[in-house]
Amino acid sequence: MASRQSYQSQHGVNNSSKDMGRSRAQSAPQHPVDPDEARSFALRTAYLHYLLQPKAKRKQYVPAPKQPARAHTSVGQLVQDFVSGNSSSIKLPHNFATALLDRVGGVLRGSEALPGYSDAAVKRSFAEAYTAFSEKTFRKTIEKERKFEPLVLIFYSAATKAAQKGKGADDESDSWKLLPDRHLAMFVRLAANVMKDQGHDRDRPELMSRLTDLESKLLRNDQDLVSNSSAGTGTTIEVIVPLSYEVKDMPMVQTVASIFGMGLSEAQKILNEKRQVWTEEAALKDLKSYQTRLNANLPGTLSSHDFDVEDAFTEWKKSEATHLSQMMMDILTAKPELAKTKTGPIDQSMTSRPTSMYENDQAYADLSRVISDPSASSFAFDPSISLSSLAIGESSSIRAVDETIYTFTPPNPRSFYKNILQQAMMFDQMHADPNNDYQPLSHKSMDLLNELSVRWRIPQFSRLIVLLEGVANQFLEKEIAPEDLDAAFDIIKSPSQELKKPPHIHQYNAPPDRF
C-alpha cells in the first residue's frame, strides 16, 4: 500500500486543501438521521414515482346504445303528410322514373357513388324494389301520374320483405324492423340526388323540400346513414386503467420495504394513511417552493459557495431551471387538473428566515476532484490517508435546514440519501449472488436512489462521493475485499450508461473528472 507521503507526491494533493475540506466537515454541527424518517421519505418518494408513471391503457368494449322507440306512427302516415296540400307542386319531372330506376340498378351493380350503398342488406332491399319497379305496368303508371308516393310504398314493402329474409333463424331481436326505415330513407336520398343531377332542385323546390323532410322523419331513430350501417354491434375503445393504490402494483415501494425490512402490509397501511398528504399537488408545491428559494438564494437549495468555481454553479443553476420545468410538466401530465388550480410556491418559512442555514458542501467537490485522477486506484489502498478523508460528518449536507419545508424532500437531503444508500448497500450485499462480480448496488436500488436524487435535487458530484463513502465503509468493516474496492473505484470513475429516459439531474452519468 502506498504511504501518505508517496500518495501526496504522486497525485499532487495539497495538504492545506485537504485539511481545509476536512475542517469544513468537522466544524459544523452534526445532523443524525432518524431511521424511521429516512424510511418515511424513501417511501413517500417511491410512492410519488408510482403516481407519476404513465398510465396503462386497455381495450374496452362499449355496447351499442339501445334503439329508441319509433317516433312515427307508420309509413302510411308519412306518405299522407308528404302529399298533403297542393299535390300539383310535387309532381315528378318527366322521365324521372327511368333515371331513378337506373340509379337503383347501379346500387345492385356496386357502381353507386354515394356513400353507404355497398352494404349487403341495403343491396337486398334495393334488389327487391328493382324487381317491382321494373314491372311494365307499374312503370307506365308512374310515368303517367308522376307521383312519388307509390314509389315510397312499393320500396318500403320490398325493403320489409328483404329484411325478413335476411333475419337469422335464431335471431329473436327486433333490430331488423328498423332496417326498412333506414333503407327507405336511403332510397329517398337517392331520389333527391337524381333531382339535383337533373337540375330540378331549382324548378321544383317544394318537391325537394318534401323529400328532405320525409328523409329526416325516417331517420329519427338513425341520423347517420353511413357510419351507423352496423348499428347495434357496439365498438371497442381504449381507456386508461385507474390506479389501484395497492403496494403490489408499486415496484419501487416494494424495494423500499425490502431495504428497510418492512412488510408490504405495513407499507400499505402507511400509504393509506398518508394518501391525502403525499399527493401530486404537494409535489408540485415542493418544486415551486424550491424554484423560488433557488432564485432568491434562500435556504433549501444549493448556492454558489457549494461549488469550487462560480461558472460551475452558474451552469448547474441554469440546468436546474430546465429540469424543474420538465418535472412540473411530468406532474401536470399525470394530473392535468392541477393546471387549473393554484399551488402557492412560497411557504411561510421563507420570509421568516433572514439568514441562510444552507451548509457548505465544498468538501464533497474537493473529494470528487481527488478521485478523478486516472491513476487514483492506489487511493483505495491507503486507509491512513484516503479513507480517513472520507470521515465527512453528516453536517456537510446539501440544503440542511432546521425543519422540513418540503413534503417529499427531507430537511437534510444528502444525509438522508447517504443513510438510505448505506441501507441499500447492506441489503444488496446480503442478497448478492457470490458467483457474480461485485456491484455496490443492485438495479432496483439504483433506480430508487436515482429517484431520490431527482426528487431531492442531489447533484451528481454528491451522488458519487456518497457512493464512494459507502464502499469505503464496507471495506473498513471488512465486508468487501480490496479488489472489490478497486472495482468500485473503476465504476465510480467511469461514465455510467445512457438511459432511455435520463433522470432530471445535471450530468447524471458524468464521472468525477467532469466536475
- State the maximum Cα–Cα separation within the chain, in Å, rounded to a whole number: 123
The predicted pLDDT at position 392 comes to 36
Measured in residues, the chain has a length of 515
Residue of 462, 430, 460, 465 whose CA lies nearest to 445: 430
Residue 27 has pLDDT above 50, yes or no: no
C-beta of residue 39 within 8 angstroms of C-beta of residue 33: no
Confidence of residue 234 (pLDDT cuts 50, 70, 90): confident
Average of per-residue pLDDT across 473-489: 89
C-beta of residue 281 within 8 angstroms of C-beta of residue 288: no
The predicted pLDDT at position 448 comes to 97
Confidence of residue 35 (pLDDT cuts 50, 70, 90): very high
pLDDT tens for each residue of 252-282: 999 999 999 999 999 999 999 999 999 999 9
Rounded CA-CA distance 305/24 in Å is 12
Alpha helices (H) in 198-309, listed in sequence order: 200-203, 205-218, 251-259, 264-274, 280-295
Name 476's Cβ contacts closer than 8 Å, sequence gap at least 6: 383, 387
Residue 48 has pLDDT above 90, yes or no: yes
Percent above pLDDT 70 for the chain: 73
DSSP-assigned states of every residue in 249-276: G-HHHHHHHHHTT--HHHHHHHHHHHTT
Residue 6 has pLDDT above 80, yes or no: no
The predicted pLDDT at position 3 comes to 32
Residue 11 has pLDDT above 50, yes or no: no
pLDDT tens for each residue of 136-149: 888 888 888 888 88
HEC profile of 408-443:
CCCCCHHHHHHHHHHHHHHHHHHCCCCCCCCCCCCH
The predicted pLDDT at position 501 comes to 84
pLDDT tens for each residue of 316-325: 999 999 999 9
Cell 320489409 belongs to 160
> Sign of torsion, CA 309 315 318 320?
negative
Q: What angle do CA 253, 254, 256 make, to 5 degrees?
A: 65
Rounded CA-CA distance 440/424 in Å is 9
Our CA dihedral for 454, 455, 457, 459, rounded to 10 degrees, sits at: -30
Burial label, 276 (beta-carbon count in 10 A; 0-12, 13-18, 19+): exposed
